[in-house]
Amino acid sequence: MDKPIIFADEINPSTASRRVAAHTLRRVERGIYTTELDGDLGDVVRRHWRIIAGRQFAGAVITGRSALTGGPVDGVLYLVAPAQRRRTVRYPGLHVVINPGAGPVDGDIEYPDGLFQASITRAIVENTQPSRRSANTAPWTLTDDELQTWLDRLCQRYGEDKLAACRTAFERLARQLDVAPQHVAQASELIGAILGGRTITPTSKALTARLAGAPYDPDRVNLFRILIDALHNAAPQVRPAQPATTTAAFFEAYFSNFIEGTEFTLDEAHTIIDTMTPPEARPADGHDLLGTFKIVADNDEMSTIADNATEFVELIKRRHAVVMEGRPEMHPGTFKQTGNQAGATVFVAPELVDGTLQEGFNGFAELATPWQRAVYSMFIVAETHPFIDGNGRLARITMNTYLTAGYESRIIIPTVLRSDYLTALRQLSRVRLPGVLLDVLRFAQDYTSRIDFSSVELATHTLTSTNAFEDADQGHRIKMPDISHTPST
């Protein structure tokens, strides 16, 4: 079977010409062919950049701006290689910028394709050097702000001990790389500030927050920005609130717990709420349902929103303490001390939770409507995942406080929408696509606003007839309630 990339010295020239004419081979660039016959050539190059760059620039080191990702950044791969002049080589979908510099040194990682990856220490040292933007590419090295933000991220990922070890190796490595002493001193000062031994005036928001004692997760904050931009561009959503009823609160608590796997029959759930007593066989699950109900049934509590970041954090802690009061082992109202994840999604590190929530709160200033703030607040809590357990319930409670305070219909996620809702969260969290989440929540609010919660019987009938209690994974689909049954406000 042919390799995806074939170079000119691996194939007879006449054979290559015949195959190109017969459309069984495509020419990528002079001396480079691909057996991938469909799709954009730029996509082919981006998929196989290691093979191409490793062959064309064997022995070169991935460093500079490419140290951020270990590969291309915005379609540009930054390399250093000895006995080279600065030049840019252009391929479909990829520019390769080569700078003259030292070849591999101790600590660099050798890849089987012919390239080397600069060690973290080397990448830091080389990125302290100033460089200029070329006509079509960003500067070869990071700006001061970008370097500070990257060091903050390295501290999050590897810890202070790793940065301290890098700092110790700077001077020796700088001599090998022929980097000016003043640039090494700059890197040493930055790391000294992170470690607490130096005082500097940072220019990066991330490093400023860390030195102020409130470090945050910049990747999550960038994700929050993507959601803000999507909300600005989305159609407006206004669904007036219904009168607050115990029935509405019951179903809100019931479905929110069902999403998290706390499953009761309706009769069991009614008994728990009516008696305010968890079942003997499942006391912890019963307490989860009761704790959620206590919050969502309290209209004063659900109308309370924060005026500042500190209040936002305190409200989240207070509500979590109520929701999880029946599970002392989950440390109700106390932020997690160990990391947590769901599937492939690793949530915000414990030491960054407070700062990430506070930085996320700043985004509310850019959002004007209850709907926008509700969606945004839900995602901040869900994506940060600040507690050991109860994060999903708390995220939906937070969402509905902004709707209640704005006199708009709350959002209930019925069981039949559970899969769509969780998939939408993953779409934004993992692949940075917010549109699906906006669509799901918009539909869910439309659905909720059409249900008459004036009595248990009416609400149960509508929820049942629209498949609210069914499992979408078994082929069931939700039905929008008849608009003629929409409750008056």
pLDDT in tens, 89-108: 999 999 999 989 889 998 99
Token code pair at residue 197: 């031994």
- Measured between its terminal Cα atoms, the distance across the chain in Å is 68
Cα distance between residue 9 and residue 62, in whole Å: 25
Q: Is the pLDDT confidence value at 408 over 80?
A: yes
Confidence of residue 115 (pLDDT cuts 50, 70, 90): very high
**What confidence score (pLDDT) does residue 197 get?**
66
Q: If you average pLDDT over every residue of the chain, what do you get?
A: 91
Q: What is the DSSP string of 49-106?
A: HHHHHHHHTTT-EE-GGGGGTTS-BTTEEEEEETT---EEEEETTEEEEEEE-----T
Residue 18 pLDDT more than 60? yes
Nearest to 3 by CA among 45, 31, 46, 33: 33
Dihedral, 272, 451, 230, 351 alpha carbons, nearest 10: -10
Q: Are 242 and 449 in contact, with CB atoms under 8 Å apart?
A: yes
pTM, rounded to two decimals = 0.75
Rounded to whole angstroms, the Cα distance separating 128 from 132 reads: 13
pLDDT score of 485? 52
**Long-range contacts, 356-359 (Cβ 8 Å, 24+):** 356/216, 356/217, 356/220, 356/221, 356/384, 357/309, 357/312, 357/313, 357/316, 357/381, 357/384, 357/386, 358/214, 358/216, 358/309, 358/310, 358/312, 358/313, 359/209, 359/214, 359/216, 359/221, 359/309
The pLDDT tens digits for 46-62 are: 999 999 999 999 999 99
Cα–Cα distance list, 63 to 175, 286, 305 (Å): 17, 55, 46
pLDDT at position 410 is 97
Residue of 206 and 15 predicted with greater confidence: 15
Give mean pLDDT, residues 127-136.
78
Contact 8, 1 (CB under 8 A): no
Q: How confident is the model at residue 214 (pLDDT cuts 50, 70, 90)?
A: confident
Mean pLDDT value across residues 299-313: 96
Q: Higher confidence at residue 474 or residue 276?
A: 276
Predicted local confidence at residue 72, as pLDDT: 93
Which band of pLDDT confidence, cut at 50, 70 and 90, is reported for residue 135?
Answer: low
201: pLDDT confidence band, cut at 50, 70 and 90? confident
Q: Is the model's pLDDT at 16 over the cut of 60?
A: yes
All structural domains of the chain, each given as residue ranges with its CATH number in brackets, are 1-38 (no CATH), 144-211 (no CATH), 218-485 (1.10.3290.10)
Q: Taking residues 163-186, report their average pLDDT.
A: 82
Nearest to 295 by CA among 268, 270, 315: 315
Mean pLDDT, residues 466-479:
89
Q: State the Cα–Cα distance between residues 77 and 196, nearest whole angstrom.
A: 34
Give the residue, 1 or 25, on which the prediction is more confident: 25
User: Is the per-residue pLDDT at 139 higher than 90?
Assistant: no
Question: Per-residue pLDDT tens for 178-188?
Answer: 788 888 888 88
Q: How far is CA 421 from CA 264, 327, 339, 389, 401, in A?
A: 20, 26, 23, 19, 19
What's the pLDDT score for residue 487? Answer: 56
Q: What is the Cα Rg of the chain in Å?
A: 28
Lowest average pLDDT, out of 90-99, 170-179, 246-255, 456-465, goes to: 170-179
pLDDT of residue 52: 94
Query: 3-state SS string over 95-114?
Result: EEEEEECCCCCCCCEECCCC
On the CB side of 23, CA atoms within 13 Å amount to 2
pLDDT of residue 153: 83
What pairing do the DSSP bridges indicate for beta strands 345-346 and 76-81?
unpaired
Q: What per-residue confidence (pLDDT) applies to 397? A: 98
Range of 68-72, 173-177, 392-396 with top mean pLDDT: 392-396
Cα angle for residues 145, 146, 151 (degrees, 5° grid): 100
- Is pLDDT at 486 greater than 70 in this prediction? no
Would you place residue 370 in the very low, low, confident or very high pLDDT band (cuts 50, 70, 90)?
Answer: very high
Instruction: Indicate the pLDDT class of residue 23, thresholds 50, 70 and 90.
Output: very high
- The pLDDT, as a whole number, for residue 177 is 83
